[in-house]
Amino acid sequence: PAELVSEYGDVPTLPQSPRLVAEIVSPTDIAEEIFLKAQEYLNSGSVEVWIVFPESRWIMIMTATQKLTFNPGSTINTQLVLAGFSLAVDELLS
Beta-carbon count within 10 A of 60 CB: 18
Q: What's the DSSP call for residue 44?
A: T
Give me the domains of the chain, ranges plus CATH numbers. 2-92 (3.90.1570.10)
Enter the pTM of the model.
0.79
Q: What span, in angstroms and rounded, lies between the C-alpha atoms of 53 and 40?
A: 19
pLDDT, one tens digit for every residue, the chain (94 residues): 566 566 666 655 556 679 999 999 999 999 899 999 999 999 999 999 999 999 999 999 999 999 999 999 999 987 688 888 899 999 999 8
Spatial distance between the Cα atoms of 44 and 55, rounded to a whole number of angstroms: 28
Of 62, 92, 93, which is closest to residue 79 (Cα–Cα)? 62
Residues 42-66: tens digit of each pLDDT: 999 999 999 999 999 999 999 999 9
Alpha carbon of 94 to those of 54, 55, 57: distances in Å? 9, 11, 9
